[in-house]
A and B are shown apart, each in its own frame.
Chain A
C-alpha cells in the first residue's frame, strides 16, 4: 500500500507541470482581484479554473477535472459573462474608491496572518492525519476513478445526491422568480381590472416597490 507522503516519487515533468499550473492559478487569481474591467476578471477566472483542473488531473481526479472544465469554465463563467454583458457593466470601475477608511490594509493584514498561520500549523504538524480509505479507495481495485466516484456518489452519498437534485430545482425556481418583472405584472393586472378601487390599490403597491 502506498505511503502517505513517502510513496510519491515526483519526477521532473511532474514538478514542471505543478509549477506551471501554480503560476497560471496564482496569476489568474491576481488578475481577478486587480483588473478594473469585469470581463478581464472573468477571463482571468477561466485561467485559474483551468489551472485547478490541471492539478486535478495530476492528482488522479480525472472526472472532477472534466467537470471542472465543463461546469466551471463552460457554464459558470459564461453565466458571469452573460450577466456582465446584459447589465452593461463592462466598463472600468473606480478601483481607488475606498468607502471604509483603512479597510484594505486591515483586510490584507488579516488574510495574510490567517493564511500564514494555517501554513505554519501545517508545517509544524502533520498535514494529513486520520483514518484512510474510509469511503473507498480513489483508484484501487482495478477500477478507474470515474467508476469509484460514481459508486461512492450513488451508494454512500445517495441522500446527499438526492438533496442536490432538490437544491438545483429550488435554485432554478428561485432564479425564475427573481428574474420576473413585477412592475409589468402589476401594470397588466391594473389594465385587466378596470375598477377604480383595485386600480388605486395596484398603484399604491407599485409606488411601494419602486424606489
Chain B
C-alpha cells in the first residue's frame, strides 16, 4: 500500500503554495498560466488522496472534470494571449490593462 494520506496532502499544499507564489511574483503571462496549472495539479493530487482515504470514486471523477476544464481554460487563455501579443508585441501582465472597456 502507499504512504499515509497526510504525506500526499502536505506535498499538495507545498505544490499549491509554490504555484501561488509564482502566480504572484512573475509577470510573464505564460509563466503565470503554468503556475495556475501547478495549482490545479495540487488540487487534483488532494482530490485523489481524499478519494483513496475515503474509498470514494467521486474524488477521481472531480479530477477528471478538472482536467477537462483546465484544457479549455488553457485554450481560451492562450488565445487571448496571442490576440493581445498581436497588438502589443509583449507578454507581460501589465499590458493586459487594454482589456478594460
- Taking beta carbons and an 8 Å cutoff, which residues of A are in contact with B? 1-2, 4-5, 7-11, 14-15, 18, 22, 25-26, 29-30, 32-33, 38, 41-42, 45, 48-49, 52, 55-56, 58-61, 63-64, 67-68, 71-72, 75-76, 79-80, 83-84, 86-87, 89, 93, 95, 97, 99, 103-104, 107-108, 111-112, 114-115, 118-119, 122-123, 127-128, 130-138, 140, 145, 148-149, 152-153, 156-157, 160-161, 164, 167-168, 170-172, 174-175, 178-179, 181, 210-211
Within 8 A of A (CB), among B52-76: 52-58, 60-61, 63-65, 67-76
Q: Main secondary structure on chain B at its contact with chain A?
A: helix
- Taking beta carbons and an 8 Å cutoff, which residues of B are in contact with A? 1-11, 13-22, 24-28, 30-31, 33-35, 37-38, 41, 44-45, 48-58, 60-61, 63-65, 67-76, 78-83, 85-88, 91-92, 94, 98
> Mind listing 6 A-B residue pairs with CB under 8 Å?
A26-B14, A68-B44, A76-B74, A93-B28, A171-B76, A181-B86
| Contact A111/B20 with A59-B48, A93-B28, A128-B5 known, Cβ cut-off 8 Å | yes
- B78 in contact with A171 (CB, 8 Å): no
| Contact A14/B98 with A97-B27, A167-B72 known, Cβ cut-off 8 Å | no
Distance in Å: Cβ of A10 to nearest Cβ of chain B: 5
CB-CB under 8 A from A93, the residues of chain B are 27-28, 92
CB-CB under 8 A from B7, the residues of chain A are 18
- B10 in contact with A119 (CB, 8 Å): yes
Kindly state the separation between the CA atoms of A115 and B12 in the bound complex, as whole angstroms: 10
